[in-house]
């Protein structure tokens, strides 16, 4: 997935490259903000159940 993106970026002229790079930066920043806000949200019972299931799988239960 990353390789085609890098190829696309390398084929662009300098001005197009920086325009495209800025668009990707904004996309990544938005995604990180959403992930960060979800990570800071208080856990619900559903979240706790999901964590318990993952932990049980990790230790082989």
Annotated domain spans of the chain: 2-58
Of the listed ranges 21-25, 31-35, 38-42, the one predicted with least confidence? 38-42
Distance CA 45, CA 52 (A): 10
pLDDT band for position 37 (cuts 50, 70, 90): confident
> What is the pLDDT, as a whole number, of residue 45?
56
Of the candidates 18, 34, 1, 38, the residue with the CA atom closest to the CA atom of residue 9:
18
Q: What does the DSSP 8-state code read for residue 42?
A: P
Of the candidates 23, 20, 25, the residue with the CA atom closest to the CA atom of residue 10:
20
- pLDDT score of 9 more than 60: yes
- pLDDT score of 5 more than 60: yes
């Amino acid at each position: 997935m990353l390789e085609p993106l890098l190829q696309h970026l390398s084929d662009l002229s300098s001005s197009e490259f920086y325009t495209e790079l800025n668009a990707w930066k904004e996309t990544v920043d938005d995604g990180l903000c959403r992930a960060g806000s979800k990570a800071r949200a208080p856990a619900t019972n559903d979240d706790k159940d999901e964590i318990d299931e993952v932990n049980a799988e990790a230790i082989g239960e």
